[in-house]
A and B are shown apart, each in its own frame.
Chain A
Amino acid sequence: MKKGILYTVLFTLVISFTFVLLLSTANQLTKERTKKNEELLLRKAVLNAFHIPFANDQEAYTVYDDNVTVVKKAGTDLFMHEKEGITTYAILFMGNALWGQVRGILAVNAEVTVIKGVEFISHNETPGLGGRIDEDAYKNQLRGEVVGAGGLIKGTRKGVYDYDHQNGEIDGISGATRTSESIEKIINSELKYLRKLLG
């Protein structure tokens, strides 16, 4: 059956409206749950960066409330954790890697001389390659790392992860050089910014 131009326009309009309506309804119905997931992800990332243990998702909420406070420094929100008189800070960072934005948490000591931990919240890196920044084996290189010359860390290409925490060096991921370089750049830029805030 041949359909006229008016029918075509009306049909396109109605079908677009219907599907968009259905999608916005689905989005609205799951909005609260998605928001809660994102909030939980942030809390878990902060706790992991500070190296504060928690047993499950439910406990993550209470452990976070008991151990972490948010302080404002020069308009930036910093997460603060105090234990046995030692204060550590963490910052939510964002930066560009190979395929898109990387978001995560970087925790440091008050003097910004030691990285306490790094946790990634979201990224768009290739699963199995750049996406391996999420693996503990990679992140543990930075846990307790004393920053090197100029208060920065240096990326190396030795092919073996660097767990010497006194040399200020971390090794990149094999097959993901660009992602590794981007992470090094992002962390160094955050270290500089944190020194400015806390120094």
Chain B
Amino acid sequence: MQKTGLMMTAKKNIWAENPVLIQVLGICSALAVTNTLLNTLIMTCGVVFVTGFSNLTISLLKNLIPRRVRMIVQTLIIAFYVILVDIFLRAFLPDISRSLGPYVGLIITNCIIMGRAEAFAQSNPPIISLWDGITSGAGYMYVLLLIAAVRELLGFGSLLGFRVMPEGFVTWTVMLTPPSAFFLIGIMIWIVKSISMRKGAGK
């Protein structure tokens, strides 16, 4: 039963109710940080960590939090974990911290984190809330990584900084600009919707 619950939550967050492709949340960062794969990987790891642990903390404290200050406390908890990520990056991964610049701080404004805190952690037990946060973050992570892979490949001709495209390859400057992420997200939403509709029609 417990195992089925965990599987259902994961499937829902990663595919059926994917935060980016279905709920269209977290779009700002999807446009801003996805021009290089490494930056996207670190940033999305930060989001997975923050979503998971803020969900866990909120779920543990849910019976103590007064309703009238509920959202302020949720924001405080989310900000706490984001600043923790920032402190960690500055101390242990200074180069990544430098290249991500202000985007780490902006994790606080990611709607997915607040959305999961309010919609799930506030009314569910701690372990499943932690899992819900991690899988929601993972759903966001793989979509952004796919977008970043395409953008870096076509925009720089490389993947994770390593040259992949042949010598004469002309890079697509448009892929380095945020609008290209819009096109890619649009194409991904189209593919996912088509698959879902085909599955629905088959049933």
Contact = CB atoms under 8 A, between A and B. Distances in A.
B145 to A, nearest CB: 15
A193 interface: no
Interface stretch (B99-107, B108-116, B182-190): B99-107
A100 B69 contact: no
A95 B8 CA distance: 52
B155 interface: yes
B66 interface: yes
Contact of B87 (A23, A122, A129): A23
Given A122-B98, A126-B32, A128-B155, A12 B91 contact: no
Interface in A17-37: 19, 22-23, 26-27, 30, 33-34, 37
Interface stretch (B9-17, B73-81, B125-133): B73-81
A19 B61 CA distance: 13
A125 B98 CA distance: 10
Contacts of A125: 101
B76 A15 contact: yes
| B contact face: mostly helix, strand, loop, or mixed | helix
Interface in B13-48: 32-33, 35-36, 39
Contacts of B194: none
B36 A128 contact: yes
B90 A16 contact: no
B68 interface: yes
B39 A127 contact: yes
B195 interface: no
B90 A15 contact: no
B99 A127 contact: yes
Given A16-B76, A126-B32, A127-B99, A26 B65 contact: no
Contacts of B102: 99-100, 124
Contact of A12 (B69, B77, B101): B69
B84 A8 contact: no
A38 B151 CA distance: 31
A37 B84 CA distance: 17
Contacts of B64: 11
B35 A23 contact: no
B173 interface: yes
Nearest to A3: B66
Interface string B44-68: 0000000000000000010111111
Interface string A100-126: 100000000000000000000011111
Nearest to A18: B80
B144 interface: no
B176 interface: yes
B177 interface: yes
Given A8-B66, A23-B87, A99-B101, 4 more contacts: A3-B67, A8-B68, A38-B94, A128-B155
Interface of B: 32-33, 35-36, 39, 61, 63-69, 72-73, 76-77, 80, 83-84, 87-88, 90-92, 94, 98-103, 151, 155-156, 173, 176-177
27 contacts: A7-B66, A8-B66, A11-B66, A12-B72, A16-B76, A19-B77, A22-B80, A23-B83, A23-B84, A23-B87, A27-B87, A30-B90, A33-B92, A34-B90, A34-B94, A41-B98, A100-B102, A125-B101, A127-B33, A127-B36, A127-B103, A128-B151, A128-B155, A128-B156, A134-B99, A175-B173, A175-B177
